[in-house]
Amino acid sequence: MYALIFALLVNTTGNNMKSLQDTISSLAKEQQFTSGIAFKDLGSGETVCCSCDEKFHTASMMKVFVMMYAYHQADSGKLQLNEPVDVQNEFASIFDGSKFSVSKNDDGDTTLYAKIGDKVPFTDLMRLMIDRSSNLATDILVEKLGAKNITEFAKSFGCTGTEILRGVEDMKAFEAGMNDMTTPHDMMMAFEQILNTHLFSRVSSDAMIQILLSQEFNDMLPLGVPKEVKIAHKTGSITGVEHDGGIFFLPDGRKYVLVVFTKGLTNQGEGREFGAKISKLVFNYESK
Protein backbone atom coordinates (compact mmCIF):
# COMPACT_ATOMS: atom_id res chain seq x y z
CA MET A 1 0.00 0.00 0.00
CA TYR A 2 2.67 2.53 1.01
CA ALA A 3 4.82 1.52 -1.99
CA LEU A 4 1.90 2.35 -4.28
CA ILE A 5 1.34 5.71 -2.62
CA PHE A 6 5.05 6.53 -2.95
CA ALA A 7 4.92 5.62 -6.64
CA LEU A 8 1.88 7.81 -7.13
CA LEU A 9 3.57 10.74 -5.43
CA VAL A 10 6.68 10.40 -7.57
CA ASN A 11 4.86 9.83 -10.84
CA THR A 12 2.66 12.88 -10.38
CA THR A 13 5.59 15.29 -10.48
CA GLY A 14 6.09 16.67 -13.97
CA ASN A 15 2.90 15.16 -15.39
CA ASN A 16 -0.14 17.08 -16.60
CA MET A 17 -3.47 17.70 -14.90
CA LYS A 18 -5.00 14.56 -16.42
CA SER A 19 -2.32 12.50 -14.69
CA LEU A 20 -3.08 14.22 -11.38
CA GLN A 21 -6.78 13.52 -11.85
CA ASP A 22 -6.11 9.84 -12.58
CA THR A 23 -3.71 9.49 -9.65
CA ILE A 24 -6.13 11.04 -7.15
CA SER A 25 -9.03 8.96 -8.51
CA SER A 26 -7.01 5.77 -8.13
CA LEU A 27 -6.07 6.56 -4.55
CA ALA A 28 -9.67 7.47 -3.70
CA LYS A 29 -11.00 4.19 -5.14
CA GLU A 30 -8.68 2.18 -2.88
CA GLN A 31 -10.31 3.54 0.27
CA GLN A 32 -13.08 1.86 2.23
CA PHE A 33 -14.82 5.18 2.77
CA THR A 34 -16.40 7.75 0.45
CA SER A 35 -14.44 10.83 -0.54
CA GLY A 36 -14.86 13.91 -2.68
CA ILE A 37 -11.98 16.06 -3.90
CA ALA A 38 -12.02 19.42 -5.68
CA PHE A 39 -8.87 21.27 -6.73
CA LYS A 40 -8.35 24.46 -8.74
CA ASP A 41 -5.16 26.18 -9.76
CA LEU A 42 -6.08 29.86 -9.43
CA GLY A 43 -3.48 30.90 -12.01
CA SER A 44 -4.26 28.55 -14.87
CA GLY A 45 -7.86 27.81 -13.93
CA GLU A 46 -7.20 24.06 -14.28
CA THR A 47 -9.31 21.83 -12.05
CA VAL A 48 -9.50 18.30 -10.71
CA CYS A 49 -12.86 16.87 -9.71
CA CYS A 50 -13.29 13.47 -8.04
CA SER A 51 -16.88 12.96 -6.88
CA CYS A 52 -16.86 16.70 -6.32
CA ASP A 53 -20.65 17.00 -6.79
CA GLU A 54 -21.33 14.37 -4.11
CA LYS A 55 -23.32 15.81 -1.20
CA PHE A 56 -21.73 15.64 2.24
CA HIS A 57 -22.78 16.73 5.71
CA THR A 58 -20.94 20.03 6.03
CA ALA A 59 -19.82 19.45 9.63
CA SER A 60 -17.97 22.64 10.62
CA MET A 61 -17.25 23.63 7.01
CA MET A 62 -20.59 25.48 7.07
CA LYS A 63 -18.89 28.06 9.27
CA VAL A 64 -17.09 29.41 6.21
CA PHE A 65 -20.43 30.33 4.62
CA VAL A 66 -21.52 32.03 7.86
CA MET A 67 -18.35 34.14 7.89
CA MET A 68 -18.69 35.03 4.21
CA TYR A 69 -22.29 36.18 4.61
CA ALA A 70 -21.40 38.33 7.63
CA TYR A 71 -18.64 40.12 5.72
CA HIS A 72 -20.90 40.57 2.70
CA GLN A 73 -23.52 42.16 4.94
CA ALA A 74 -20.84 44.43 6.37
CA ASP A 75 -19.76 45.47 2.87
CA SER A 76 -23.41 46.23 2.08
CA GLY A 77 -23.65 48.50 5.12
CA LYS A 78 -26.24 46.24 6.76
CA LEU A 79 -23.96 45.06 9.56
CA GLN A 80 -21.33 46.68 11.74
CA LEU A 81 -18.59 44.18 12.52
CA ASN A 82 -17.73 45.93 15.78
CA GLU A 83 -21.37 45.71 16.87
CA PRO A 84 -21.66 43.97 20.27
CA VAL A 85 -23.64 40.73 20.23
CA ASP A 86 -25.25 39.07 23.25
CA VAL A 87 -23.56 35.83 24.27
CA GLN A 88 -26.25 33.35 25.21
CA ASN A 89 -26.55 29.58 25.12
CA GLU A 90 -30.18 28.82 24.40
CA PHE A 91 -31.42 28.19 20.88
CA ALA A 92 -34.59 26.92 19.19
CA SER A 93 -34.48 23.59 17.33
CA ILE A 94 -35.55 23.85 13.71
CA PHE A 95 -37.28 20.49 14.21
CA ASP A 96 -39.94 21.53 16.70
CA GLY A 97 -38.91 24.86 18.23
CA SER A 98 -37.84 23.27 21.51
CA LYS A 99 -34.87 24.77 23.32
CA PHE A 100 -31.37 23.31 23.31
CA SER A 101 -27.93 24.41 24.47
CA VAL A 102 -24.44 23.87 23.08
CA SER A 103 -22.22 21.56 25.14
CA LYS A 104 -18.97 23.07 26.40
CA ASN A 105 -17.46 19.57 26.59
CA ASP A 106 -17.96 18.97 22.85
CA ASP A 107 -16.83 22.40 21.68
CA GLY A 108 -13.51 23.30 20.06
CA ASP A 109 -13.42 26.46 22.18
CA THR A 110 -14.32 26.86 25.84
CA THR A 111 -13.39 30.51 26.43
CA LEU A 112 -16.67 31.94 25.11
CA TYR A 113 -18.71 30.17 27.79
CA ALA A 114 -17.18 32.43 30.43
CA LYS A 115 -18.75 35.38 28.62
CA ILE A 116 -22.36 34.15 28.64
CA GLY A 117 -24.49 37.11 29.65
CA ASP A 118 -21.96 39.59 28.26
CA LYS A 119 -21.54 41.09 24.79
CA VAL A 120 -18.72 40.55 22.29
CA PRO A 121 -18.19 42.00 18.78
CA PHE A 122 -19.11 40.11 15.63
CA THR A 123 -15.44 39.90 14.67
CA ASP A 124 -14.52 38.11 17.90
CA LEU A 125 -17.28 35.55 17.36
CA MET A 126 -16.16 34.91 13.79
CA ARG A 127 -12.55 34.34 14.80
CA LEU A 128 -13.60 31.86 17.46
CA MET A 129 -15.98 30.17 15.00
CA ILE A 130 -13.24 29.62 12.40
CA ASP A 131 -9.94 29.39 14.26
CA ARG A 132 -11.17 27.30 17.20
CA SER A 133 -14.33 26.00 15.52
CA SER A 134 -16.49 27.38 18.34
CA ASN A 135 -19.95 25.82 18.16
CA LEU A 136 -21.37 28.37 20.58
CA ALA A 137 -20.12 31.29 18.47
CA THR A 138 -21.56 29.60 15.38
CA ASP A 139 -25.06 29.22 16.78
CA ILE A 140 -25.09 32.80 18.03
CA LEU A 141 -24.09 34.04 14.58
CA VAL A 142 -26.52 31.78 12.68
CA GLU A 143 -29.37 32.96 14.89
CA LYS A 144 -28.37 36.57 14.29
CA LEU A 145 -27.81 36.28 10.53
CA GLY A 146 -30.43 33.68 9.57
CA ALA A 147 -29.68 30.25 8.06
CA LYS A 148 -31.97 30.91 5.10
CA ASN A 149 -30.13 34.13 4.30
CA ILE A 150 -26.78 32.33 4.43
CA THR A 151 -28.05 29.66 2.02
CA GLU A 152 -29.45 32.21 -0.41
CA PHE A 153 -26.14 34.07 -0.38
CA ALA A 154 -24.21 30.84 -1.11
CA LYS A 155 -26.50 30.05 -4.01
CA SER A 156 -26.10 33.59 -5.39
CA PHE A 157 -22.47 32.89 -6.31
CA GLY A 158 -23.10 29.40 -7.66
CA CYS A 159 -23.13 27.05 -4.66
CA THR A 160 -26.34 25.36 -5.79
CA GLY A 161 -25.63 22.14 -3.87
CA THR A 162 -25.38 23.92 -0.53
CA GLU A 163 -28.13 24.09 2.10
CA ILE A 164 -27.50 25.72 5.47
CA LEU A 165 -30.51 24.85 7.59
CA ARG A 166 -29.20 25.44 11.09
CA GLY A 167 -26.26 25.90 13.40
CA VAL A 168 -24.71 22.99 15.30
CA GLU A 169 -25.76 20.60 18.06
CA ASP A 170 -29.47 20.77 17.24
CA MET A 171 -29.77 17.06 17.95
CA LYS A 172 -33.49 16.75 17.23
CA ALA A 173 -32.91 18.17 13.77
CA PHE A 174 -29.85 15.96 13.28
CA GLU A 175 -31.79 12.81 14.17
CA ALA A 176 -34.55 13.87 11.77
CA GLY A 177 -32.03 14.25 8.95
CA MET A 178 -32.33 18.04 8.86
CA ASN A 179 -28.65 18.73 8.24
CA ASP A 180 -26.46 21.28 6.54
CA MET A 181 -25.17 19.88 3.25
CA THR A 182 -22.67 20.94 0.61
CA THR A 183 -20.38 19.51 -2.07
CA PRO A 184 -16.60 19.64 -2.50
CA HIS A 185 -17.14 21.70 -5.67
CA ASP A 186 -19.30 24.25 -3.83
CA MET A 187 -16.74 24.48 -1.04
CA MET A 188 -13.95 25.02 -3.57
CA MET A 189 -16.03 27.76 -5.18
CA ALA A 190 -16.64 29.41 -1.80
CA PHE A 191 -12.93 29.63 -1.00
CA GLU A 192 -12.24 31.04 -4.46
CA GLN A 193 -14.96 33.66 -3.99
CA ILE A 194 -13.35 34.89 -0.78
CA LEU A 195 -10.66 36.34 -3.07
CA ASN A 196 -13.25 37.92 -5.39
CA THR A 197 -13.09 41.68 -4.91
CA HIS A 198 -16.25 42.08 -7.00
CA LEU A 199 -18.14 40.14 -4.33
CA PHE A 200 -16.25 41.49 -1.31
CA SER A 201 -14.31 44.63 -0.55
CA ARG A 202 -10.54 44.20 -0.46
CA VAL A 203 -10.67 44.89 3.29
CA SER A 204 -13.21 42.13 3.89
CA SER A 205 -11.42 39.68 1.62
CA ASP A 206 -8.13 40.28 3.42
CA ALA A 207 -9.82 40.01 6.83
CA MET A 208 -11.35 36.62 5.99
CA ILE A 209 -8.02 35.34 4.70
CA GLN A 210 -6.31 36.39 7.93
CA ILE A 211 -8.94 34.60 10.01
CA LEU A 212 -8.56 31.41 7.95
CA LEU A 213 -4.77 31.60 8.14
CA SER A 214 -5.05 31.53 11.94
CA GLN A 215 -6.76 28.11 11.94
CA GLU A 216 -5.66 26.15 15.02
CA PHE A 217 -6.59 22.67 13.72
CA ASN A 218 -3.89 21.67 11.24
CA ASP A 219 -3.84 17.87 11.20
CA MET A 220 -5.12 17.19 7.68
CA LEU A 221 -4.24 19.21 4.56
CA PRO A 222 -1.34 21.15 6.14
CA LEU A 223 0.50 17.88 6.81
CA GLY A 224 0.98 17.38 3.06
CA VAL A 225 2.91 20.58 2.39
CA PRO A 226 6.09 22.28 3.64
CA LYS A 227 5.72 24.72 6.52
CA GLU A 228 6.50 27.71 4.29
CA VAL A 229 3.23 27.14 2.42
CA LYS A 230 0.48 29.25 4.01
CA ILE A 231 -3.01 27.76 4.10
CA ALA A 232 -6.16 29.78 4.74
CA HIS A 233 -8.40 26.85 5.61
CA LYS A 234 -11.21 25.36 7.69
CA THR A 235 -11.70 21.82 8.96
CA GLY A 236 -14.87 19.90 9.74
CA SER A 237 -15.26 16.77 11.83
CA ILE A 238 -18.13 14.70 13.19
CA THR A 239 -18.38 10.95 13.72
CA GLY A 240 -17.47 9.23 10.46
CA VAL A 241 -16.65 12.52 8.72
CA GLU A 242 -13.39 14.44 8.25
CA HIS A 243 -13.15 17.47 5.96
CA ASP A 244 -10.59 20.13 5.20
CA GLY A 245 -10.34 22.78 2.55
CA GLY A 246 -8.80 26.13 1.82
CA ILE A 247 -6.57 28.41 -0.21
CA PHE A 248 -2.89 27.52 -0.51
CA PHE A 249 -0.38 30.36 -0.90
CA LEU A 250 2.94 29.17 -2.31
CA PRO A 251 6.18 31.07 -1.57
CA ASP A 252 6.47 32.12 -5.25
CA GLY A 253 3.05 33.83 -5.19
CA ARG A 254 1.00 31.11 -6.87
CA LYS A 255 -2.31 30.09 -5.29
CA TYR A 256 -4.62 27.11 -5.47
CA VAL A 257 -7.74 25.83 -3.71
CA LEU A 258 -8.03 22.26 -2.46
CA VAL A 259 -10.99 20.64 -0.72
CA VAL A 260 -11.04 17.05 0.58
CA PHE A 261 -14.24 15.61 2.05
CA THR A 262 -14.66 12.14 3.56
CA LYS A 263 -17.59 10.20 5.02
CA GLY A 264 -18.29 6.65 6.15
CA LEU A 265 -15.10 6.50 8.18
CA THR A 266 -14.65 3.78 10.77
CA ASN A 267 -11.47 5.49 11.93
CA GLN A 268 -11.29 9.31 12.00
CA GLY A 269 -7.53 9.20 11.55
CA GLU A 270 -7.90 7.50 8.17
CA GLY A 271 -9.76 10.51 6.83
CA ARG A 272 -7.11 12.95 8.03
CA GLU A 273 -4.31 10.75 6.65
CA PHE A 274 -6.08 10.53 3.29
CA GLY A 275 -6.44 14.30 3.16
CA ALA A 276 -2.74 14.76 3.88
CA LYS A 277 -1.84 12.37 1.02
CA ILE A 278 -4.08 14.22 -1.43
CA SER A 279 -2.56 17.49 -0.27
CA LYS A 280 0.94 16.17 -0.93
CA LEU A 281 -0.03 14.94 -4.39
CA VAL A 282 -1.40 18.35 -5.33
CA PHE A 283 1.58 20.20 -3.90
CA ASN A 284 3.97 17.96 -5.85
CA TYR A 285 2.03 18.75 -9.02
CA GLU A 286 2.12 22.48 -8.32
CA SER A 287 5.85 22.30 -7.59
CA LYS A 288 6.85 20.69 -10.89
Provide the pLDDT for residue 209.
98
Q: Measured between alpha carbons, how far is residue 99 from residues 14, 63, 153, 166, 212 in Å?
A: 56, 22, 27, 13, 31
Mean pLDDT of 235-251: 97
Q: Looking at the whole model, is its pTM more than 0.75?
A: yes
Could you give the C-alpha distances from 72 to 112, 139, 223, 275, in angstroms and in order?
24, 19, 31, 30
Tell me the torsion sign for CA atoms 52, 188, 181, 150: negative
Output the pLDDT for position 288: 80
User: What pLDDT score does 43 carry?
Assistant: 96
- CA gap 192, 186 in Å, rounded: 10
User: Hey, where are the domains in the chain?
Assistant: 2-54+183-286
* pLDDT of 10 strictly over 60: no
Nearest of 245, 229, 100 to residue 172 by alpha carbon? 100
- The per-residue pLDDT for 7 is 44
The answer to whether residue 224 scores a pLDDT higher than 70 is: yes
Compute the mean pLDDT over every residue in the chain, rounded to the nearest whole number: 94
User: What would be the CATH architecture of the domain defined by 2-54+183-286?
Assistant: 3-Layer(aba) Sandwich (3.40)
Query: Per-residue pLDDT tens for 114-124?
Result: 999 999 999 99
For 145-181, the pLDDT digits (tens) are 999 999 999 999 999 999 999 999 999 999 999 999 9
pLDDT score for 173:
97
Q: For 56-112, what is each residue's pLDDT tens digit? A: 999 999 999 999 999 999 999 999 999 999 999 999 999 999 999 999 999 999 999
